[in-house]
Amino acid sequence: MNRRSFIQQSTGMLFICPSIAAKPQSDYLNNIGIQLYSLRKPINENLKQTIDEVARMGYKQVEPYDFPSSKSLDMIKRAKEKGMQVNSSHFQWDSLLNPDPKKLPSFEKVLELAHKNELTDLVVPYLHTHNRVDLEAYQKTAEVLNRGAEQAKEAGIRLAYHNHAFEFQPMLGGKTGYDVFIRSFSPDMFFELDVFWVKVGGVDPVSQIHYLKNRISQLHLKDLRSGFKCPNFGKVKPEDFEEIGDGQIPMNPILKAADSAGVVHCHIEQDHSPSPLSSMQKSLLHLTSG
């Protein structure tokens, strides 16, 4: 694949829009990042060209995934070469929650490599079913995460948990897994709040930000198809993910709430898109053009 065909899906808007850097913006919006999982398909095709396009779009930072895989290390290296910050990464969470020395690096090794690569944040991106099957499982998970957060703090790194919708599903006595996490996480264990999944879980993202305040380390910003009924704890289809501004989640109140809560890092993400590069360009333009 040559460079022309590779970037075709993302350049259409570049020809009709001025550069992101030329637009007057707040420092907060200037720091908007991207969760690179959104671009996993083009990254698998050509990592360097994909990261180059992310920089060309105007993103100031990236958040890799699957750290410390060789691919994640390549993402970090290329992003820094293109002048972007890399503060945070999603990591192979089983190294902490379900360790297997034969298959995974130890959590101590993950922290060592994170420090070496100048990361300030590591994020648990998901939970296997057995880690969240009931409130007791959530409690045990919280205890393991707290121990990991203590280790991470000693290495100069914040540990956070990235939500989906299942944490908000009522369980015994109407309590939720997220209730357990809010109650049980130590002051060293943070939340990376994904506003899309908060909404799908039937909770107002702005209210959740105001409630958690400085316990939020970062935000994930993405939009939900208009007409999608919440809460929904079933399957979310690929077409339910929208570019920011095209769905039902107003982002300005979220950004204002996050700013007032002291959240510094926000990452645009779209789990599914037929044209990932184009979607990431469109979402960034929506946030930075107003």
Q: Tell me how far apart the alpha carbons of residues 139 and 5 are, in angstroms, rounded to a whole number.
A: 49
* Token code pair at residue 7: 């970037």
* Token code pair at residue 191: 């939340």
As a whole number, the mean pLDDT across the chain is 92
Cβ within 8 Å of residue 88, ≥6 positions away:
63, 119, 120, 121, 122, 123, 192, 217, 218, 265, 267
On the question of pLDDT at 277 being above 50, the answer is: yes
In a domain? residue 20: no
Residue 6 pLDDT grade (very low, low, confident, very high; cuts 50, 70, 90) = very low
In a domain? residue 11: no
- Supply φ then ψ for residue 208, to 5 degrees: -65, -40
In a domain? residue 4: no
H or E stretch covering 183: helix 177-184
Instruction: Kindly report which listed range (12-26, 89-103, 121-135) carries the lowest average pLDDT score.
Output: 12-26
Q: Tell me how far apart the alpha carbons of residues 144 and 24 are, in angstroms, rounded to a whole number.
A: 44
On the question of pLDDT at 290 being above 70, the answer is: no
Domain that holds residue 180: 26-288
**Tell me, what CATH number does 61's domain have?**
3.20.20.150
Q: Tell me how far apart the alpha carbons of residues 159 and 241 are, in angstroms, rounded to a whole number.
A: 27
pLDDT in tens, 196-248: 999 999 999 999 999 999 999 999 999 999 999 999 999 999 999 999 999 99
Instruction: Kindly report which listed range (5-9, 14-18, 121-125) carries the lowest average pLDDT score.
Output: 14-18
Among 119, 124, 150, 152, which residue's Cα sits nearest to residue 138? 124
In a domain? residue 32: yes
Segment 8-14 mean pLDDT: 43
Residue 28 pLDDT grade (very low, low, confident, very high; cuts 50, 70, 90) = low
C-beta of residue 87 within 8 angstroms of C-beta of residue 120: yes
Q: How many CB atoms lie within 10 A of CB 235?
A: 6
In a domain? residue 173: yes
In a domain? residue 12: no
Residue 105 pLDDT grade (very low, low, confident, very high; cuts 50, 70, 90) = very high
Q: What is the pTM of this model?
A: 0.90
Per the structure, the count of domains in the chain is 1
